[in-house]
């Protein structure tokens, strides 16, 4: 058992005794891109000294710049079914909610995907409630096949990440064979008593089965997994340590920890009263948690969704976040209707995909639609080896610039194209390997001439 409530609580209490010298040593280690143990993370979580927190932010920004440069991976969620047999207190899909539930037909999936492709998206996160009758694994597999097969003009989805309920090794093997990207599952909260309280009914009530889902996924051959917690259900410091212990368990047992970590905060949802939650996370605490995670796992992607507003997303990109959703609809069929039916949660950043991409480019950030590592087999421990040697720089920025050129040619307006051309020109010299840089320059010209899907 790698999660022990008492151990985590005791560690947090003991960490309050850390000296300034202890904190300095930990931060020096983090600045060297060495990552941190959960014990070291605990010391950072419990410090309240301004000089420590200021340096945490400074190092987080340095790590983000050193490893990820100006790249920000862009994706969109696709909700295919809101049928659910669970009664998660914080979720708009919970089973006792009285609303007309919906499961997309394959024609409706194609309609949603066509709209997402017109937005320029190349990677999706497939989302669904848990219902073994109305949304079984065969339905999910049909959706994945339909998404991959749907191509509109130059639009296509090249990577489907999957965020569905914890399941069996056999069903995880089916997902693996369907060529999914990352299997994503949020523990929601690592505090067992809180977990069982907020998941009172349904298969999700089983804390241990949910916690062990990534072990079953790894056994089935899925080596890219993405974790996360829903900040606000329990104390944020506890949740971050839970994430770190879970990551260490996966690294120890399977050679690779989380490919991504998501950091959603509890937001209003239909049938949910935020006043019931006593651990809601304020902005400053939230930013500190994100920065500490970046120090702890420098090579792990970090995801922020449209739960957060533009200002918060801008702040977090500077200190850790490497992936953002854009133009998101969180209703089933929400892209085609653009009508609010019953969302899993309330969206805060409701800007269009084009508006968000324009914002990124204007801020000097490179929106990346790259899916090359997944298709080149650079997953799991192979991806981490590439990242930790620093060679990832000769892959990620080149692919980001080429996919941005694709977007520019196929979907952008004149103003975006002008700004993107200038950004690409400025970023090309940052490709240190001359041979790679010249290849990218050549490929960009090929893309402008009509070729597509060029990657390293």
Structural domains in the chain (count): 3
Asked if 270 and 144 sit in the same domain, the reply is yes
The reported pLDDT for the residue numbered 271 is 65
- CB atoms closer than 10 angstroms to residue 18: 19
> What residues have CB less than 8 Å from 63, skipping those under 6 apart?
30, 31, 33, 294, 295, 298, 320
The reported pLDDT for the residue numbered 149 is 97
Residue 278 DSSP SS3: coil
Compute the distance between CA of residue 10 and CA of residue 327 in angstroms, rounded to an integer. Answer: 42
Asked if 221 and 293 sit in the same domain, the reply is yes
Residue 323 DSSP SS3: strand
* Domain with 415 in it: 386-448
Compute the distance between CA of residue 396 and CA of residue 64 in angstroms, rounded to an integer. Answer: 14
The reported pLDDT for the residue numbered 212 is 98
Residue 120 domain-assigned? Answer: yes
> What residues have CB less than 8 Å from 165, skipping those under 6 apart?
130, 185, 203, 204
Compute the distance between CA of residue 401 and CA of residue 420 in angstroms, rounded to an integer. Answer: 9
Residue 453 domain-assigned? Answer: no
Compute the distance between CA of residue 344 and CA of residue 196 in angstroms, rounded to an integer. Answer: 20
* Predicted confidence (pLDDT) at residue 332 exceeds the cutoff of 90: yes
417 exposure class (CB count in 10 Å sphere: 0-12, 13-18, 19+): middle
Asked if 390 and 408 sit in the same domain, the reply is yes
The mean pLDDT value for 225-246 works out to 98
Compute the distance between CA of residue 54 and CA of residue 49 in angstroms, rounded to an integer. Answer: 9
Residue 375 domain-assigned? Answer: no
What pLDDT band is residue 380 in, cutting at 50, 70 and 90?
Answer: confident
Let me know: does 205 contact 166? Beta carbons within 8 Å: no
> Last residue of some domain: 65, 88, 112?
65
Asked if 60 and 74 sit in the same domain, the reply is no
Structure tokens at 76: 């969109």
The reported pLDDT for the residue numbered 374 is 79
- The 10s digit of each residue's pLDDT in 20-36 is 999 999 999 999 999 99
Residue 141 DSSP SS3: helix
Let me know: does 144 contact 180? Beta carbons within 8 Å: yes
Asked if 171 and 115 sit in the same domain, the reply is yes
Asked if 127 and 26 sit in the same domain, the reply is no
The reported pLDDT for the residue numbered 443 is 97
Q: Is the dihedral of CA 360, 364, 369, 372 positive or negative?
A: negative
Residue 454 domain-assigned? Answer: no
Cα 159 to Cα 162, 267, 440, distances in angstroms: 10, 28, 22
* Predicted confidence (pLDDT) at residue 208 exceeds the cutoff of 80: yes
List the CATH number of the domain containing 295.
3.20.20.70
Asked if 24 and 41 sit in the same domain, the reply is yes
> Last residue of some domain: 294, 325, 350?
350
What pLDDT band is residue 376 in, cutting at 50, 70 and 90?
Answer: confident
Distance of CA 126 to the CA centre of its chain: 12
Asked if 159 and 46 sit in the same domain, the reply is no
The mean pLDDT value for 45-64 works out to 97
Average pLDDT, the chain: 94
Residue 108 domain-assigned? Answer: yes
Residue 344 domain-assigned? Answer: yes
Strand pairing category for 323-325 and 71-81? parallel
Asked if 324 and 417 sit in the same domain, the reply is no
The mean pLDDT value for 64-84 works out to 95
Residue 364 domain-assigned? Answer: no
Compute the distance between CA of residue 188 and CA of residue 208 in angstroms, rounded to an integer. Answer: 13
Asked if 328 and 404 sit in the same domain, the reply is no
* Predicted confidence (pLDDT) at residue 339 exceeds the cutoff of 70: no
Asked if 44 and 189 sit in the same domain, the reply is no
Model-wide pTM > 0.85: yes
Residue 346 domain-assigned? Answer: yes
- The 10s digit of each residue's pLDDT in 274-324 is 888 999 999 999 999 999 999 999 999 999 988 999 999 999 999 999 999
Residue 379's closest CA among 453, 434, 301, 437?
301
> How many Å is the Cα radius of gyration of the chain?
21
Structure tokens at 22: 């202890």
* Predicted confidence (pLDDT) at residue 399 exceeds the cutoff of 90: yes
The reported pLDDT for the residue numbered 345 is 62
The reported pLDDT for the residue numbered 35 is 96
The reported pLDDT for the residue numbered 275 is 85
> Last residue of some domain: 65, 83, 98?
65
282 exposure class (CB count in 10 Å sphere: 0-12, 13-18, 19+): exposed
The reported pLDDT for the residue numbered 338 is 61
Let me know: does 102 contact 329? Beta carbons within 8 Å: no
Asked if 189 and 269 sit in the same domain, the reply is yes
- CB atoms closer than 10 angstroms to residue 295: 28
């Amino acid at each position: 058992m790698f999660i022990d409530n008492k151990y985590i609580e005791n560690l947090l209490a003991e960490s309050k005794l850390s000296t300034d010298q202890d904190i300095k040593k930990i931060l020096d280690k983090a600045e060297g891109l060495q990552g941190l143990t959960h014990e070291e993370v605990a010391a950072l979580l419990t410090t309240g000294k301004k000089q420590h927190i200021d340096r945490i932010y400074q190092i987080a920004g340095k790590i983000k710049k050193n490893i990820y440069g100006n790249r920000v991976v862009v994706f969109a969620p696709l909700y295919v079914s809101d049928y659910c047999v669970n009664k998660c207190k914080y979720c708009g899909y919970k089973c006792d909610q009285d609303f007309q539930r919906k499961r997309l037909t394959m024609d409706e999936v194609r309609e949603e995907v066509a709209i997402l492709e017109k937005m320029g998206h190349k990677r999706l996160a497939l989302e669904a409630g848990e219902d073994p009758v109305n949304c079984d694994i065969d339905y999910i597999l049909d959706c994945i096949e339909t998404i991959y097969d749907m191509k509109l003009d130059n639009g296509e989805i090249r990577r489907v990440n999957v965020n569905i309920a914890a399941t069996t090794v056999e069903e995880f093997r089916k997902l693996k064979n369907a060529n999914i990207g990352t299997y994503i599952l949020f523990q929601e909260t690592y505090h067992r008593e809180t977990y069982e309280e907020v998941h009172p009914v349904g298969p999700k009530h089983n804390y241990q089965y949910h916690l062990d889902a990534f072990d079953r996924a790894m056994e089935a051959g899925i080596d890219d997994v993405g974790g996360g917690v829903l900040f606000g259900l329990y104390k944020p410091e506890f949740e971050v340590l839970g994430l770190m212990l879970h990551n260490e368990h996966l690294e120890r047992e399977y050679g690779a920890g989380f490919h991504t970590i998501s950091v959603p905060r509890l937001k209003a949802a239909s049938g949910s009263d935020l006043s019931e939650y006593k651990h809601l996370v304020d902005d400053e605490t939230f930013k500190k948690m994100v920065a500490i995670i970046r120090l702890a796992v420098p090579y792990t992607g970090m995801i922020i969704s449209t739960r957060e507003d533009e200002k918060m997303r801008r702040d977090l990109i500077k200190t850790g976040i490497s992936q953002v959703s854009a133009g998101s609809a969180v209703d089933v069929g929400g892209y085609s209707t653009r009508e609010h039916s019953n969302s899993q949660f309330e969206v805060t950043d409701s800007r269009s995909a084009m508006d968000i991409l324009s914002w990124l480019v204007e801020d000097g950030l490179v929106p990346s639609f790259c899916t090359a590592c997944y298709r080149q087999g650079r997953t799991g421990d192979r991806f981490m080896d590439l990242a930790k040697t620093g060679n990832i720089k000769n892959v990620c920025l080149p692919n980001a610039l080429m996919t941005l050129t694709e977007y520019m040619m196929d979907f952008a307006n004149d103003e975006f194209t002008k700004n993107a051309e200038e950004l690409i020109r400025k970023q090309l010299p940052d490709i240190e390997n001359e041979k790679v840089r010249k290849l990218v320059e050549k490929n960009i010209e090929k893309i402008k001439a009509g070729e597509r899907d060029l990657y390293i």
